[in-house]
Amino acid sequence: MNSVSPVPRTARAYPNIALIKYWGKRDELLHLPTTSSLSMTLDIFPTTTTVTVCDREFDEVILGDEPAPTDFAGKVSRFLDLVRDRAHDTRHAYVHTCNTVPLGAGLASSAAGFAALTVAATAAYGLDLKEPALTRLARRGSGSASRSICGGFAQWHRGEGDGTAGDESSFAETLDATRLNVALVVAVVSAREKPISSRAAMRRTMETSPFYLPWVKSSAEDLYRMRKAIYAGDLPVVGEVAERNALGMHATMLGARPAVRYFAPGSMQVLDRVLGLRDEGVPAYATMDAGPNVKVLCDRSDSSRVAADLAEIVGTEQVLVAHPGPAATLETA
Ligand code: 2P0
């Protein structure tokens, strides 16, 4: 048993949007992905989480001002078991988490949530983990959380092999993107609840879609081109590769049985507008995740123009502008 004093430890982390997507696991327990992915951490809607180790019989999880729903609390508790195991400490914890993502904004809160929990919980249990180890642990909560440990642009490596070898080699790291000066404009098309969770949808896609393996193969080529373009500050290549990688991921879902379709009529309208912007000489590129909302990558200097155009389709209130944001951080005790 560790003799850590029950000091509350607080961490903050931000959502990320993948430009090369994660869609499918080769190991469901260790959350080892089929492909490497690449993302931008945002500067909006952080999750702030405080973990206090204490002598109580159960973990207590508070979400905002209320006790967390049972399934949410269960996920947090199972994640804390991984931390306790590493810290050789069996004590339970009080967890308070505040998530600022507006309901239905289409910015998955699980990435920021598990990244903040990873940083706060490891500190609370007295573990001193460096960034690669934090990203590997965050991955066990939610795959995409590994990328929210890093600031700016990050690559989550699929890793090689299975079991321990896979676990040790599947981590995220920050990429040099100093030559890119971008914004991500989010068009909230619908606040409707997802028809199917991304975890279930990616499993079904892998198991039933004939388009899945070709996408996995092309994703490796996309990643190679994207990394070079990010380093060179080449927005048109970054954007074109991001757009085709995302549309390819959605194509794999449309081939699943039964099909998984996250597109809504408004998504198509926004995608059309993005093509229109390009025709008008504005480099703007779309990406979509497990929902109908569309995120548009553009130069920072074009973000007002892009936001105004998208507001004509979805309404001003439904447009958010984000930029590359910070890594997950621990508040000083
Ligand atoms: C991504 N998504 O790369 C992809 C694109 C959604 C579409 O990561 O099962 O919540 O917890 O590892 O990380 C959403 O999946 O899934 C996701 P789990 P996660 O951002």
Amino acid at position 131, single letter = E
Nearest to 127 by CA among 173, 83, 94, 164: 83
Answer whether residue 194 shows pLDDT above 80. Answer: no
Q: Which of 144, 155, 203, 294 to mutate to test the pocket of ligand 1 (most atoms within 8 A of CB)?
A: 144
Contacts of 100 (CB under 8 A, 6+ apart): 45, 46, 47
Instruction: Give the residue, out of 198, 202, 226, 249, with the most ligand 1 atoms within 8 A of its beta carbon, to mutate for a pocket test.
Output: 198
Q: Closest ligand 1 atom, CA of 199?
A: 9
Q: For residue 12, list its beta bridge partners.
A: 48, 329
For every residue of 132-155, DSSP letters joined together read: HHHHHHHHHH-TTHHHHTS-SEEE
31 lines ligand 1 (CB under 6 A): yes
Give the integer Cα–Cα distance in Å for 82 and 125.
11
Residue 5: pLDDT band (50, 70, 90) is low
Q: Is 199 in the pocket of ligand 1 (CB under 6 A)?
A: yes
pLDDT value of position 101: 80
pLDDT digits (tens, 9 = 90+) for 265-314: 999 999 999 999 999 999 999 999 999 999 999 999 999 999 999 999 99
The Cα 189–Cα 106 span in angstroms is 9
Q: What dihedral angle (degrees, nearest 10) is formed by the CA atoms of 163, 166, 168, 170?
A: -140
CATH code of domain 9-176: 3.30.230.10
Which range has the worst mean pLDDT, 27-31, 106-110, 196-200?
Answer: 106-110
User: What local confidence, expressed as pLDDT, does residue 89 receive?
Assistant: 97
The predicted-structure confidence for 131-173, as pLDDT tens digits, reads as follows: 999 999 999 999 999 999 999 999 999 999 999 999 999 999 9
Q: Is 274 in the pocket of ligand 1 (CB under 6 A)?
A: no
How far, in Å, from the CA of 314 to the mean position of ligand 1? 25
The whole model's pTM is what? 0.96
C-alpha 18 to ligand 1 mean position (Å): 9
Tokens of 177: 């993107």
Closest to 296 measured CA to CA, from 208, 195, 215, 188: 188
Q: What is the β-pairing status of strands 92-99 and 182-187?
A: unpaired
Query: Residues 194-215: what's their mean pLDDT?
Result: 95
Q: Is the pLDDT of residue 189 over 80?
A: yes
| pLDDT at residue number 332 | 85
The residue nearest atom 10 of ligand 1, judged by CA position, is 142
**210 band by pLDDT with thresholds 50, 70 and 90:** very high
Domain ranges of the chain: 9-176, 182-322
CA-closest residue to ligand 1 atom 20 = 18
The model's confidence at residue 28, banded by pLDDT at 50, 70 and 90, is: very high
The finding on whether 143 has its CB within 6 A of some atom of ligand 1 is yes
In contact, 186 and 106? CB cutoff 8 Å: yes
* C-alpha 3 to ligand 1 mean position (Å): 36
**CB 37 less than 6 A from any atom of ligand 1:** yes
Domain spanning 182-322 has what CATH number?
Answer: 3.30.70.890
- Testing ligand 1's pocket by substitution, the residue of 202, 212, 250 carrying the most ligand atoms inside 8 A of its CB is 202
Mean pLDDT of the chain: 95
CA atoms lying within 13 Å on the CB side of residue 162 = 5
Q: What is the DSSP string of 73-104?
A: HHHHHHHHHHHHHHHT---EEEEEEEE-SPTT
CA of 132 to the centre of ligand 1 (A): 19
Which ligand 1 atom is nearest residue 17's CA? Answer: 20
Q: What confidence score (pLDDT) does residue 169 get?
A: 98
Q: How many CB atoms lie within 10 A of CB 279?
A: 8
pLDDT at 104: 58
**Residue 22 beta carbon below 6 angstroms from any ligand 1 atom:** yes
pLDDT at residue 131, as a whole number: 98
User: Which residue's alpha carbon is nearest to atom 12 within ligand 1?
Assistant: 143
Q: Which two tokens stand for residue 296?
A: 């548009």
pLDDT of residue 103: 62
Band (pLDDT 50/70/90 cuts) for residue 106 is low
Equal fold, 9-176 vs 182-322:
no
What pLDDT score was predicted for residue 6? 81
